[in-house]
């Protein structure tokens, strides 16, 4: 299969709705096929989520692009990703930000993602095993935070790790369907924007869903 041609077609498709050229350029450089199981690689550039094992998924490319665009990167950010999963989203963030801290609660996924990202040459991504509290407090505050799992509410722990003026993108709703929100932290009332409906696996942890 010609993955480069398939990738180009996908990026052209995404450009109909995604206006940030830097996001599209990043996605045109990253081999998504490396982040999916071998049996799914022929589907790597379809605009759909794919299973990656352990009841987790690699998100639909359009949703990945939308969430990334919403963080409005300049290239100087320190960004936190909650939910490493396959590592694909972390790679995109690393193309657009100065430093990426990404947390994953499942050790097998964290190790696989760490290995793939290292093989691809990324030196500005730190993969961490998630702790009980959401995020990674010891590196806070962050310029931007992306949550790649659905939360029952906007997690206060993550807002507290965000700089004033920083952006948090998080799916909020039930365990099965959510709305995607961008929250900009302000000194007074935070700014909230609804980016539309989405479906993510549940966010597990304190201030989120319980496992099971």
- Boundaries of every domain in the chain: 54-198
Is residue 73 within 8 A of residue 21, CB to CB? The reply is no
Q: What is the DSSP string of 158-208?
A: HHTTEEEEEEEEEEEESSS-EEEEEEE--SSSPEEEEEEEE--PBPBSTTS
Cα-Cα-Cα-Cα dihedral of 59, 205, 101, 43, to 10°? -20
Q: What is the per-residue pLDDT for 3?
A: 96
160 alpha-carbon distance from chain centroid: 19
Provide the token pair at 96. Answer: 């657009």
Q: What is the per-residue pLDDT for 206?
A: 86
Catalytic residue among 59, 86, 118, 174: 59
Please state whether 93 falls in left (phi above 0), alpha (psi between -120 and 50) or beta.
alpha
Residue 97 has φ and ψ, to the nearest 5°, of: -125, 165
| Packing angle, helices 21-29 and 3-14, rounded to 10 | 160
Residue 38 has φ and ψ, to the nearest 5°, of: -50, -40
Q: How far apart are CA 26 and CA 129, in angstroms?
A: 26
Is residue 150 within 8 A of residue 169, CB to CB? The reply is no
Q: What is the per-residue pLDDT for 199?
A: 93
Judge if the upstream peptide bond of residue 141 is cis by omega within 30 degrees of 0: yes
pTM of the model: 0.96
Q: What is the per-residue pLDDT for 211?
A: 82
* 54-198 fold: Rossmann fold (3.40.50)
Q: How far apart are CA 25 and CA 180, in angstroms?
A: 23
Give the residues across from 51 on adjacent strands: 57
Q: How far apart are CA 86 and CA 123, in angstroms?
A: 17
Q: What is the per-residue pLDDT for 207?
A: 85
pLDDT along the chain (212 residues), means of 10: 96 98 98 96 96 93 98 97 97 98 97 98 97 94 97 96 97 96 95 96 90 76
Catalytic (active site) residue 59:
yes
């Amino acid at each position: 299969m010609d993955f480069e041609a398939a990738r180009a077609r996908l990026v052209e498709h995404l450009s109909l709705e995604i206006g940030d050229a830097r996001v599209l350029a990043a996605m045109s450089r990253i081999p998504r096929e490396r982040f999916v199981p071998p049996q799914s690689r022929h589907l790597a550039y379809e605009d759909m989520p794919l299973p990656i094992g352990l009841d987790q998924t690699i998100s639909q490319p359009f949703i990945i692009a939308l969430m990334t665009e919403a963080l409005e990167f300049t290239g100087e950010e320190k960004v936190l990703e909650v939910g490493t999963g396959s590592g694909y989203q972390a790679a995109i963030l690393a193309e657009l930000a100065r430093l990426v801290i990404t947390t994953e609660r499942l050790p097998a996924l964290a190790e696989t993602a760490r290995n793939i990202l290292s093989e691809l040459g990324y030196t500005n991504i730190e993969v961490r095993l998630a702790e009980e509290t959401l995020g990674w407090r010891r590196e806070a505050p962050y310029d931007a935070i992306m949550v790649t799992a659905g939360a029952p509410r906007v997690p206060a722990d993550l807002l507290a790790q965000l700089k004033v003026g920083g952006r948090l993108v998080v799916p909020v709703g039930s365990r099965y369907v959510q709305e995607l929100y961008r929250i900009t932290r302000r000194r007074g009332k935070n700014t909230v924007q609804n980016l539309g409906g989405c479906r993510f696996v549940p966010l597990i942890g304190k201030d989120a869903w319980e496992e099971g």
